[in-house]
């Protein structure tokens, strides 16, 4: 089991107990939407659903070499109770409270541990894995974006969301990371993006050494200041000693260079961007197709009034099939905007390299590294969250726009 992770199902405190284990997990509308994929429609647990979604929807889009859907294995109740007891002490308190292991489940998902190089022996040389949550890498240009939301055409969603997160106390500093740099396909801009992620990792960037977290936050949240990050960088520089043949203080720079080279070569982000771009209409267009799919009067058009909602009538006259296709593309793109990429690298030993192996050259030290990149967290986004997504989007843009206006007035 070395190099494998077992993903067990969790139950949230608020989960309804009334659901029978043979009931489908998807809502009626989601079943309508994904009706052509039987494995999704008939899924009776979250983990069967997650597995089928990765296998049948995301993997074909993102290329099989970058996605491991995992394998379902049967587990006993006693085993899951053992897991629950073991993990209780290791989880941060707020997570223990939010969810616990579902001991009534009869299976779990066995997946590769992407923080370890699969066939490597960690005794020989350390293995570094970097987890990047890239977020949306393009600017929308849909004609359905409201005039007052023009900011969307020239500012990334990531940047705008940062401002709201500061207001809500979720983060203390805004990040200089720009997703468009990471997805740019240019070595220089990719490197810029990586340097920014090193400075403010937030929940977008983590580094593991032989499977253990050495940089970035646990539980998806990094609340530290820039000086905390600097301290962590110092520790990381030391940890890289056996791996990168450069002097103290130089190894982090080499790490930037190597990561940029790997991301440039692997092509994984090019693929991811294509999937993200399946969202052609932006949420401001898609939300109208959503009301078509659930066959309810459109709340957005109602709020806009007769005159302003005119341009959306073309969306409301689409067929159900057309509306469903728009919805599915949007939800798949939403998964692609929220997933993470695991990049794992490992030094090539003397005389070890085969011509077919994937490797990247670190020019600064003339070292060669094997690498592997895999997407994780490819969960399905449920239809019922659409209106929430719409409201959040409006909140993010209007707050950012108000801040820009305020700044312009002060200057």
Among 37-45, 97-105, 307-315, 332-340, the segment contacting Zn ion (CB under 5 A): 307-315
Q: Is residue 293 at the binding interface for Zn ion, with CB under 5 A as the rule?
A: no
- Residue closest to Zn ion (Cβ): 298
Shortest Cβ distance from residue 297 to Zn ion (Å)? 9
List of residues 6+ apart from 132 with CB closer than 8 A: 182, 197, 204, 205, 340, 341, 343
Closest residue by Cα to residue 182 from 130, 229, 249: 130
List of residues 6+ apart from 300 with CB closer than 8 A: 287, 288, 291, 309, 312, 390
Shortest Cβ distance from residue 386 to Zn ion (Å)? 12
Among 301, 324, 341, 383, binds Zn ion (CB under 5 A): 301
Among 190-198, 256-264, 281-289, 391-399, the segment contacting Zn ion (CB under 5 A): 281-289
Q: Which CB atom, from 222 or from 390, has the smaller least distance to Zn ion?
A: 390
Shortest Cβ distance from residue 237 to Zn ion (Å)? 54
Q: Is residue 298 at the binding interface for Zn ion, with CB under 5 A as the rule?
A: yes
Q: Which residue intervals of 135-250 are DSSP H helices? A: 157-167, 179-182, 187-199, 226-239
Among 29, 288, 337, 372, binds Zn ion (CB under 5 A): 288
Total site size for Zn ion, rule CB under 5 A: 5
Shortest Cβ distance from residue 295 to Zn ion (Å)? 13
Q: Which CB atom, from 80 or from 298, has the smaller least distance to Zn ion?
A: 298
Q: Is residue 215 at the binding interface for Zn ion, with CB under 5 A as the rule?
A: no
Closest residue by Cα to residue 193 from 147, 97, 260, 249: 260
Separation between Cα atoms, residue 157 and residue 152, nearest integer Å? 7
**Mind giving me the DSSP string for 344-366?**
EEEEPPTT---TTS-EEEETTTT
Shortest Cβ distance from residue 292 to Zn ion (Å)? 9
Asked if 246 contacts 364 with a C-beta cutoff of 8 angstroms, the reply is yes
Shortest Cβ distance from residue 312 to Zn ion (Å)? 4
215 strand-pairing partners: 207
Asked if 386 contacts 298 with a C-beta cutoff of 8 angstroms, the reply is no
**Owner of token pair 């401001």:** 284
**Owner of token pair 């055409």:** 153
Tokens linked to 206: 């983590």
Shortest Cβ distance from residue 32 to Zn ion (Å)? 19
Among 263-271, 297-305, 334-342, 364-372, the segment contacting Zn ion (CB under 5 A): 297-305
Per-residue mark of binding to Zn ion, 308-327 (x: CB under 5 A) = ----x---------------
Q: Which CB atom, from 169 or from 305, has the smaller least distance to Zn ion?
A: 305
Shortest Cβ distance from residue 118 to Zn ion (Å)? 48
Q: Which CB atom, from 259 or from 300, has the smaller least distance to Zn ion?
A: 300
DSSP H or E run through 148: none
Q: Which CB atom, from 301 or from 332, has the smaller least distance to Zn ion?
A: 301
Q: Which CB atom, from 108 or from 301, has the smaller least distance to Zn ion?
A: 301
Tokens linked to 216: 């970035």
**Chain centroid offset of residue 165 CA:** 18
Residues that bind Zn ion (CB under 5 A): 288, 298, 300-301, 312
């Amino acid at each position: 089991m070395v190099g494998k992770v077992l993903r067990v199902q969790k139950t949230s405190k608020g989960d309804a107990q009334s659901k029978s284990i043979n009931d489908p997990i998807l809502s009626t509308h989601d079943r309508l939407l994904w009706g052509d994929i039987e494995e999704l429609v008939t899924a009776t647990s979250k983990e069967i659903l997650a597995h089928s979604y990765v296998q049948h929807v995301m993997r074909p889009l993102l290329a099989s070499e970058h996605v491991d859907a995992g394998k379902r294995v049967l587990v006993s109740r006693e085993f899951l109770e053992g897991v629950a007891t073991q993990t209780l002490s290791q989880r941060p308190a707020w997570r223990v409270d939010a969810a616990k292991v579902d001991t009534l489940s009869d299976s779990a998902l066995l997946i590769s541990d992407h923080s370890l190089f699969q066939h490597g022996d960690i005794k020989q040389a350390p293995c570094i894995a970097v987890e990047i949550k890239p977020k949306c890498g393009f600017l929308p240009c849909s004609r359905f974006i409201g005039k007052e939301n023009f900011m969307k055409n020239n500012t990334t969603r990531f940047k705008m969301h940062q401002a709201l997160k500061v207001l809500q106390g979720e983060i203390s500093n805004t990040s200089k990371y720009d997703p468009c740099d990471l997805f740019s396909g240019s070595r220089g801009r990719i490197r810029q993006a990586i340097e920014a992620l090193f400075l403010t990792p937030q929940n977008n960037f983590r580094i593991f050494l032989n499977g253990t977290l050495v940089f970035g936050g646990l539980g998806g949240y990094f609340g530290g200041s820039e000086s905390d990050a600097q301290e962590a960088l110092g520790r990381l520089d030391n940890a890289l000693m056996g791996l990168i043949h450069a002097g103290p203080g130089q190894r982090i720079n080499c790490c930037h260079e190597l990561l940029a080279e790997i991301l440039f070569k692997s092509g994984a982000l090019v693929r991811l961007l294509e999937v993200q771009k399946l969202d052609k209409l932006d949420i401001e267009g898609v939300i109208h197709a959503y009301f078509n799919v659930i066959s309810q009067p459109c709340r957005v058009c109602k709020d806009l009034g007769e005159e302003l909602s005119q341009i959306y009538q073309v969306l409301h006259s689409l067929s159900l099939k057309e509306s469903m296709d728009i919805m599915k593309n949007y939800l798949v793109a939403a998964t692609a905007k929220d997933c993470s990429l695991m990049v794992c690298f490992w030094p090539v030993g003397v005389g070890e390299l085969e011509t077919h192996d994937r490797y990247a050259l670190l020019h600064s030290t003339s070292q060669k590294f094997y690498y592997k990149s895999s997407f994780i967290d490819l969960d399905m986004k449920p239809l019922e969250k659409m209106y929430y997504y719409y409201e959040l989007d409006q909140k993010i843009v209007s707050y950012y726009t108000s801040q820009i206006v305020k700044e312009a007035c002060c200057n």
